[in-house]
Structure 1
Amino acid sequence: KPSVSFSLDSAVDATSGVVLTSTSFCNAPDDNGPPPVTFTVHDAIEAAGFGKFQIILSVIGGFAWMADSMEVMLLSLLSPSLACEWGVTPFQQALSTTFVFAGWMISSPFWGRFCDVYGRKKGLISASLLGFIFGIVTAFTHSFLAFLLARFFVGLAVGGVPQSVTMTAEFLPVETRAKCLTLLKFFWAIGAATEAGIALAVMPTLGWRWLVGFSSLPLALFALSCWWLPESARFHVAHGKIVEARATLVRVARYNNRELPHGELVAESERSSTRMSELVSEQHRRTTAQLWIIWVLFGLLYYGITIYTTKLFQ
């Protein structure tokens, strides 16, 4: 004899404050009954499609890349001013760049793990606020050593900003994912051009300290815009928070004027947690080595040329 089950799930929409309640009655199937209707986060994202929600999300994610680009472009603009301010040698000028990238290199694995444990949204807000705070601290430093330490912490923060790509990708349908993620680089170019424009207006009159302060503002604005972002539904499902994940997916569908699939939201698959050591396992070793070589060469070419630009005109 089949039994009757009743469930009541509720969650609060982060934007509207509306309580989302899902009530379901179901006859528990007997051994010969049909399986329950279910859907995954992937199914829900595909059903919600690409619309207003993804456009806003992409702009916010692009704003992170813009702020990141401004911090990198700033490195090439500060060196001449540091030589005048503290009489630093060319080697010490190079250290100011090295400290930023050292912080970036150290923090990148940390932020990836942090976001996996505590959530994409918390990671992005924490990283951007950390970068803003130490960007402002940089503007008030009165010694070269203090300047290096402040820029190191900025590098630690910047290492977490690329998590915005992960957040954006997890809300994009398969058909538009590659295009949208590629277009995020458009904001990198905007950031570089914006930084050059600010430097042109600020450096001759107010000096490098004001330039550093203005360059930190986009990180603060990005942190504020992150409050609009919902937490990743995939993150919630992976941590067993089905009600919160469904509330997020309902919000996405409402923004796009679409409906979610009928049925119960379930996890896509059961698998154990992965480790970084898998990157160098026999299965992934070759791909990992190729990607590392590509990114090392990219860093040498792009960042090397970008940071060296101001030296070309001296």
Structure 2
Amino acid sequence: MPTEEQLPPFSLSSRVPLEVGTLSLQELNFDEALTRAGFGRYQYTVVATLALAFFAEIAEESISFIIGPELLCQWHLEGWQEALTTTAPFIGMFFGALVWGKFSDIWGRKPILLAICIWTGYYGIISAFAPSVGWYFTLRVLCGFGIGGIHTVPTYAAELVETRQRAKCMLILHVLAGLAPLFTGVSAFLLIDISKYGWRFLVIICSIPQFVCLVVSYLVLDESPRYLLVSGQTSRAKWILTKIAAINRADLLFGDVTPIAKPTRGNYAHLFASKQMIRLTICQCILWFCTMGTGFGMGILFTESLQAAQSNTDPDGKTCFSSDEVIYCKASCHVLDSSDYAKILISHVHIIIGAFISMSLSNYVGRVRLMLCCMALYCFFTMPLFFCPHPVLALILITLCKVCIVATIQAMYLYLCEAYPTNVRATAIGLGTSCSRIGMILTPFVAQVLAKSNFILALSVYMFVGIVTMIAIMVLPFDTTGKTIKDR
């Protein structure tokens, strides 16, 4: 990495008009500087690259609940073993979120993103050759450790633009990244049925985007200028801001940049430095645990409901298990077929819809109000599932529930990136996402184990968690809508 003295001179194109005189970062706060640098081709290019990184991580994550039924039948697993293979990546993600978040605040966004791509891609491909359930579990835990750094992507995206454009930037990021489950679903639809090794091909295919992301990120991304400013690298921050202005054809030229006092970065103690920060940190941990656990659980619950409908002797089919169906399903081991993967593929559109809803309304409704409304709708759509509807109706209802969860998570991402200062932003969100992995570790035991013995009780757990989420949202200390990001 070049030192500040080694940075190449960056001259604006002669086609870009310059202001008379120069501006200093001491005269402008960072959001004003970003506003003057413009929102255009530079941000679109970087956000597309970050979306590729998000795509790669989500594709690796989303294969878990698809492969579970295949391993259940091929390796003759017990129900708890199937749940354990599903939770394996999230055990690694729990630790990875804590580690990568702290490293990102200390060493920067770009180097950590590159390290995550290498780690996740390597262990993702290796796990495809696992000879037994023990090896598969271990390798997926290691793969999950890399996926745990996924929050570095929206953290960087939020730091890239000023307040008014932040929702648009995050919308582009999440909509493009929302194609990852569709990619996984299409791959499963094409590969799972070709042979008993189809699931191994699926794991390899879903690991390839990591290496594509590695190359593109290395060539395209600059370090976050906001991080550079906070870490004391003011000359590099000025150079990147000038580059942004030139590419966006904006009127901006920086003069001398006065260094600011460097705050301590990546310190977990700062997350509990005041009553307001303590309240915010506790609430975000509850929100991450509940929303991610519920969202992932709903996806698994739908997959398990398809198996219940297959093993149901009633020609109309139902989505709820009974005690007799548990024995029947275990004896005949109904793997999912192409039509089931098509239904799962359709249900994945919830990510794109939820992202549009969240980012389109967040500036008008407000981050906190939007999260609260979405969770209220989630509870409303969950209620009809207690009556064991037909699989088609269940598909619609669960998809609507997942739309509400995704919209809540996207608004939560935006809120937390704005609520925490730059010097601990990745550390704070890393702590929150590690809490989310606890929910994702536990949820397969509800959706895959408890649901087969008492479907209504399993659904009641998800309804209760939705209510707890609403309470946590109402307890949040403040809203961030329209406010600038703090750096220290």
- TM-score category of the 2 structures, normalised to the smaller one: 0.7 to 0.9
Distance in 2 between the 1:259 and 1:49 partners? Answer: 8
Distance in 2 between the 1:257 and 1:202 partners? Answer: 46
Quick one: which of 162, 173, 183 aligns to 1:184? Answer: 173
Task: In structure 2, give the amino acid aligned to 1:313.
Answer: L
Quick one: which of 58, 73, 76 aligns to 1:69? Answer: 58
Quick check: 1:197 aligned with 2:155?
Answer: no
Quick check: 1:169 aligned with 2:188?
Answer: no
Task: In structure 1, give the amino acid aligned to 2:203.
Answer: V
Task: In structure 2, give the amino acid aligned to 1:309.
Answer: F
Shift of 1:250: 2.3
User: What's the counterpart of residue 207 of structure 2?
Assistant: 216
User: What's the counterpart of residue 31 of structure 1?
Assistant: none
Shift of 1:300: 2.6
Quick check: 1:285 aligned with 2:275?
Answer: no
Higher helix share: 2
Task: In structure 2, give the amino acid aligned to 1:11.
Answer: L
**Could you list the per-position Cα deviations for residues 68-126 of structure 1 after superposition, in whole angstroms to 9, with x for gaps in the alignment?**
32223201111121123322211111111222111111111211111122211010010
Distance in 1 between the 2:270 and 2:262 partners? Answer: 18
**Structure 1 runs (4+) greater than 6 angstroms displaced:** none
**Could you list the per-position Cα deviations for residues 36-95 of structure 1 after superposition, in whole angstroms to 9, with x for gaps in the alignment?**
962254443221110001111111122222223222320111112112332221111111
- Give the TM-score normalised by structure 2: 0.55
User: What's the counterpart of residue 276 of structure 1?
Assistant: 268
Greater RCO, 1 or 2 (C-alpha within 8 Å, sep 6+): 1
Distance in 2 between the 1:186 and 1:70 partners? Answer: 14
Preserved contact between residue 24 and residue 255 of structure 2 (Cα < 8 Å): yes
Distance in 2 between the 1:103 and 1:51 partners? Answer: 37
Distance in 2 between the 1:135 and 1:46 partners? Answer: 40
Shift of 1:267: 4.3
Secondary structure of the structure 2 residue equivalent to 1:265: coil
Change (3 A) 1:61 1:174: same
Farther off after superposition, 99-108 or 269-278: 269-278
Quick check: 1:296 aligned with 2:285?
Answer: no
Farther off after superposition, 130-139 or 301-310: 301-310
- Could you tell me which runs of 5 or more consecutive residues in structure 1 were left unpaired when the two chains were aligned: 1-7, 13-18, 23-35
Quick check: 1:11 aligned with 2:4?
Answer: no
Counterparts of residues 49-128 of structure 1 (less than 5 Å): 49-128=38-117
Preserved contact between residue 229 and residue 237 of structure 2 (Cα < 8 Å): yes
Task: In structure 1, give the amino acid aligned to 2:86.
Answer: T
Shift of 1:10: 5.4
Counterparts of residues 146-157 of structure 1 (less than 5 Å): 146-157=135-146
- Could you tell me which runs of 5 or more consecutive residues in structure 2 were left unpaired when the two chains were aligned: 13-21, 308-488
Change (3 A) 1:269 1:173: farther
User: What's the counterpart of residue 306 of structure 2?
Assistant: 313
Farther off after superposition, 155-164 or 67-76: 67-76
Preserved contact between residue 9 and residue 21 of structure 1 (Cα < 8 Å): no
Change (3 A) 1:120 1:199: same
Distance in 2 between the 1:96 and 1:242 partners? Answer: 46
Distance in 1 between the 2:64 and 2:5 partners? Answer: 51
Distance in 2 between the 1:245 and 1:101 partners? Answer: 35
User: What's the counterpart of residue 10 of structure 2?
Assistant: 20
Change (3 A) 1:284 1:236: closer
Distance in 2 between the 1:86 and 1:274 partners? Answer: 43
Preserved contact between residue 225 and residue 240 of structure 2 (Cα < 8 Å): yes
Distance in 2 between the 1:236 and 1:279 partners? Answer: 21
Aligned length: 288
**Could you list the per-position Cα deviations for residues 115-143 of structure 1 after superposition, in whole angstroms to 9, with x for gaps in the alignment?**
12221101001011111101100111112
Change (3 A) 1:137 1:10: closer
Task: In structure 2, give the amino acid aligned to 1:168.
Answer: A
Aligned-pair Cα RMSD in Å? 2.3
Change (3 A) 1:258 1:308: same
Preserved contact between residue 73 and residue 306 of structure 1 (Cα < 8 Å): no
Quick check: 1:142 aligned with 2:131?
Answer: yes
Distance in 2 between the 1:312 and 1:141 partners? Answer: 28
Distance in 2 between the 1:51 and 1:183 partners? Answer: 13
- Give the TM-score normalised by structure 1: 0.84
Quick one: which of 30, 33, 38 aligns to 2:24? Answer: 38
